[in-house]
Structure 1
Amino acid sequence: MGSLPDQCCDIPPFKSNYTPVGKRITLDVEGKTPIEVYLTGPSDGIHAIIGLYDIFGMHSNTLQGADYLAKQCGYQVIVPDFFRGWSWDVDNIPPKEGRPYLNARIQERGSWDLVRPDLLEVIKYLQSDGKATLGAYGLCFGAKKIAQSAHLELFNAFVCAHPSFFQPQDADNISVPIALMPSDGEDKAVMDEFWARIQKKPFADKCYRENFHDMHHGFASARSNWDDPRLAQRARDAYNVMTKFFKERL
């Protein structure tokens, strides 16, 4: 399964007063409590992008990124709350219970067995709304869910930014173009081996990698600081990469 990077356990998220511009709705999931999702961007059109958040859930910085992406690419972006209101406490980094507890807790609350039916329900909703091509981006924890969802073959393109829990073999199930955006906080050997495996795919020429080695883990999600000019620009740079990639691949 892999583990959380050191920086994910050490660097607290930035707090923000940002007010998201989208809306929230709930979707029924068979056998589970309904899931709330955040929708932003135009609802017309046939393209949509699902955003899979980090361990801090529906953090305002993460939703600010979703708003920015939707505005830049002109597609609807939907962020499901897989944790159902729970998320790791923003004031508990580094975790007082220790890293093994944080690692185990996130894997428990965000296991693939729990995320899978939610993700399928979100896709069902988007398809019923006329969305014919779907992309997905994963931030930290969400990037691992991207890798685990690949075998569903329901997406046209993936983006993984500063992944957590990654292993090189996660590349083996990827069957559509992917963009990889590692930061300074991930294991570079894992990132390089993952990318090397992607380069053996028949669609390798449609994949893209941009390193953000000048940035810390989580710089495009809860650990972004849109009030800091440099950090805000690098977060925008990351979403601009996503925009270009999705517009070319969806």
Structure 2
Amino acid sequence: MSSLPEQCCTLPPFKTDYKPVGEIFMIKVEGQDELEIYSTGSSEAKTALVAIFDIFGMHNNTLQGADHLAKSSGYRVVLPDFFRGQSWPVDNIPPKEGRPFLNKWIQSVGSWEKVRPGLLATIEYLKANGVTTIGAYGFCFGAKKLMQGAHENLFKSVALVHPSFFQPEDADNVNVPVALLPSGGEDQAVMNGYWERIQQKPIAKNSIRQDFLDVHHGFASARSNWDDPELAKRARDAYKVMEKFFHDTL
């Protein structure tokens, strides 16, 4: 697996006084502890988006983005806490233990084997509560999780925002439309290689790429800054791209 982008290891998240407007509840996961879910938007919505956060977990900047997307799209948006409250500390970037330690930590607490049961339980919960169509979006580490599960076709379409751990071959098992939103913090050769492979697949006609090369890695999740007019605009731009993509593909 490829490594984290440089900016992921050097740029801390922005602090915020934002108060999330959604609700939190627990669901059961077979073979694991209960999973906390943040849910925002109408509980009556028939379409839902599952969001997978970055290494900072249920950070309020990420939840603010979910609130924004739910309000603008009319979808229900849910964020499962796959880290069970043990996300990477916001005050430990750059990691004092070194980058290899951070990589090892992510592969441990955020392995596909640990994420998959909770992801399946979240999908089952949504379906049991009236949701008929489900898409997903992932930031950083979360985008990689969507690629690791791509062969299972769990979602009707997926958006990948400033991805980490990516490699071009991640495109090979994708069978649903993809929205790729790289920032200026990712390896563009990898992003281009991934996108070239997507273009060779039938899903290409419904897939989109929108570059945000003028902003840093994490600009739409924990490293977003909704108090900065320009950064807030670029975050909203990214969510607008995702909203249109999901409206077109779900």
Shorter-chain TM-score: which interval? over 0.9
Partner of 1:136: 136
Which residue of structure 2 aligns with residue 188 of structure 1?
188
The question of 1:4 aligning with 2:18 is answered: no
1:78 equivalent in alignment to 2:78? yes
Pairs aligned (count): 250
TM-score normalised by structure 1 residue count:
0.99
Q: Tell me the residue number matched to 2:157.
A: 157
2:126 matched to 1:126?
yes
Does residue 1:227 correspond to 2:227, yes or no? yes
Offset at 1:163? 0.1
Residue 51, structure 1, aligned to residue 48, structure 2: no
Q: CA RMSD in A?
A: 0.6
Q: CA separation in 1, counterparts of 2:206 and 2:40?
A: 27
Residue 23 of structure 1 aligns with an amino acid whose one-letter code is E
Distance 1:154 1:129 in 2: 17
Aligned mates of 1:133, 1:149 — CA distance in 2: 17
Do residues 93 (structure 1) and 90 (structure 2) align?
no
3-state SS in 1 of match to 2:125: helix
Give 1:150 deviation, angstroms: 0.9
Cα distance in 2 for partners of 1:132, 1:155 equals 11
The AA in structure 2 aligned to 1:180 is: L
Give distance in 1, aligned partners of 2:78 and 2:47. 11
SS at match of 1:26: strand
Structure-2 residue corresponding to 1:29: 29
Give me the whole-angstrom Cα distance separating, in 2, the residues matched to 1:89 and 1:106: 12
Cα distance in structure 1, aligned partners of 2:203 and 2:226: 35
Once residues 80 and 25 of structure 1 are traced to their aligned partners in structure 2, the CA distance between those partners, rounded to angstroms, is 10
How many Å apart are 1:151 and its aligned residue? 1.3
Give the % identical residues. Answer: 62
- Runs of 4+ aligned residues of structure 1 deviating over 2 Å after TM superposition are none
For residues 70 and 109 of structure 1, the distance between their equivalents in structure 2, rounded to whole angstroms, comes to 28
Deviation at 1:117, TM superposition (A): 0.4
Question: Could you tell me which amino acid in structure 1 is paired with residue 231 of structure 2?
Answer: L
| 1:177 pairs with 2:206 | no
Shift of 1:45: 2.9
Deviations 1:134-161 (A, max 9, x none): 1000000100011011111121110000
User: Does the CA-based 8 Å contact 2:16-2:60 persist in structure 1?
Assistant: yes
CA offsets 1:158-213 (integer angstroms, 9 cap, x no match): 00000011111100011000000000100000000000000011121100000000
Q: Deviations over 1:48-73 (max 9, x none)?
A: 00000000000000000000000011
Partner in structure 2 of residue 247 of structure 1? 247
Cα separation, 2, equivalents of 1:186 and 1:144:
13
Contact 2:45 2:74 in 1 (8 A): no
